[in-house]
Chains A and B, each alone.
Chain A
Amino acid sequence: MRLMNRNPSRTTALFLGLLPFALLAIVYVLASAARLADNPADKLLPSLSTMAETFRIMAFEEDVRSGDRLLWLDTAASLWRLGLGLAISATLSLFIGIFIGFLPYGRAFLAPFISAFSMIPPITVLPILFIVLGLGEASKIGLIVVGTAPLMIRSLAQTVLSIPREEMVKAQTLGASSWQIALRVVLPQIWPALITAIRMGLISAWIFLISAEAIASTEGLGYRIFLVRRYLAMDVIVPYVAWITLIAYLTDRLLALLSRRAFRWAHLQGDAL
């Protein structure tokens, strides 16, 4: 049988999926052990137990100076910024995306602007945001919005445009007004695309969040990583990176699950990652 037609069993698939993770861990453990055998004070590749201990302290013990449990403080601050930024982007993309995709007038009015705007490298806007909005929360959330909204808008507008013309004509022959078609034909078909757009947006949202926090912040996951970088504290940085990855991964899976549960009709054909 052709390789392309062979499917792994459930257990094999699980094993295969875990394999790269295990390999990475093994390589790390071996390299770290080798370096530590050479020099027990080496900071570059701390052992798993050192990292676990540091992570425990960050998560469960109060910081001597501030009295906070730093991991949760940082996580809450970062997730708040990320969530608010993405919520704003999602709302904008839903309304503007339908406006552009559904109405020729909306397309003529906003499509060129959004296309041009989405070409601005978002990081270059950060100084402007800092100057205009100050160094507080607004500028960080602003960066996430500037960085994610234009692409999300374009992706949703495109989804609206690719709803078959036949459906739009059919709805009109049922007597539907533009408003009714937007409400009953376009909007419901856009929800799954919005979730996909959020999942795509999450990737760049994290980048912009960490960048903004690295430059000006007093707490947050990105802030902490760049703060302890000065002391080469790999035992903090590596667990933090893993923690961020875990959160991002779980959010992505959760959104994918939500889409499959809530919009079953959109997942009846084909595999999706």
Chain B
Amino acid sequence: MSGAGKAFVEARGIHVSYDGNPILERVHMSVDRGAFVTIVGASGCGKSTFLRLLLGQETPQKGEILVDGKKIAAEPDPDRGVVFQKYSVFPHLTVWQNLLLPAEIGGSPFLARLFGAARRHAEEAAEEMLVEIGLSHARNRYPAQLSGGMQQRLAIGQTLLKKPRILLLDEPFGALDPGIRADMHVLITELWRSCGMTVFMVTHDIQEAFKLGTRILVFDKVRHDPHAPERFGATITYDLPLDHKAKAAAALPPGILKTHSHQGVDVHA
């Protein structure tokens, strides 16, 4: 764990329960600026819930989340970008219009449309991103006309145009085949390095988690009640820096590796 003074994103004593069933309990986390944090754990253990907390889409019943030492807003804001598994782009806008939208929102409070020099400026940035995510040939297509991988590239491009300090990814490549997934890994790693963001990425693919992360968090239940499985919530059971990735892999019990690595190839739709 890093020292308290330089922690960038911090979770302190988080508790979340739905309908009286605890989902997350006593979650503590402290992450440095620029980290690439991958999050793994069994299905239904609360990874997406944790991401929604970081996003500000939900607030925990107990505990707090701090960014740069300040409590985060109780609603999403441009500081924290997000890419979900699905529905992360706007279906009524073409690729090009989706990429222009961030600038239009930022530069025009009433119409959310840009004209003249401001528009040309926005178009330059959009054009650059369009090339970077490799969608130049699909500029005028609607999301429904794109493959899954192209849609996710668009979603990532659109999010990064806002230059968020924190990027949250919830199984962004879950529905993609291994080849496309490898391309996406290259893309996201490059973008992460060049933008200097702090990334949190949920994945079911443990290899992906090791390959991309500088740090890996494993969510699991520490207490089990065989008669009432929903009685206890999950927490962070392993928190491993991956500077020496092989060492970290060795530190994990083989059981975890097995349960997760077979899920890596299934398509989590």
Contact = CB atoms under 8 A, between A and B. Distances in A.
B81 A164 contact: no
B190 interface: no
B92 interface: yes
A173 B82 contact: yes
Interface in A255-269: 263-266, 268-269
Nearest to B159: A173
Contact of A164 (B87, B104, B145, B158): B87
Contact of B82 (A169, A180, A263, A265): A169
A176 B101 CA distance: 10
Contacts of A176: 105, 112
Contacts of A184: 101, 104-105, 112
Given A166-B86, A167-B87, A180-B112, A173 B142 contact: no
Contacts of A174: 78, 101-102, 105-106, 158-159, 162
Nearest to A267: B144
A176 to B, nearest CB: 5
Interface string B79-96: 011101011111111000
Nearest to A265: B142
B54 to A, nearest CB: 11
Contacts of B34: none
Contacts of B75: 172
Interface string A160-195: 000010110111111111011001110011000000
Contacts of A172: 75-77
Contacts of A170: 82, 84, 87-90, 155, 158-159
Q: A167, A173, A183, A268: which has the most chain B beta carbons within 10 Å?
A: A173
26 contacts: A164-B86, A166-B86, A166-B87, A167-B87, A167-B88, A170-B82, A170-B158, A173-B77, A173-B81, A173-B82, A173-B159, A174-B102, A174-B162, A175-B78, A179-B110, A183-B111, A183-B112, A184-B101, A184-B112, A264-B142, A265-B91, A265-B93, A265-B142, A268-B144, A268-B145, A269-B144
Interface of A: 164, 166-167, 169-177, 179-180, 183-185, 188-189, 263-266, 268-269
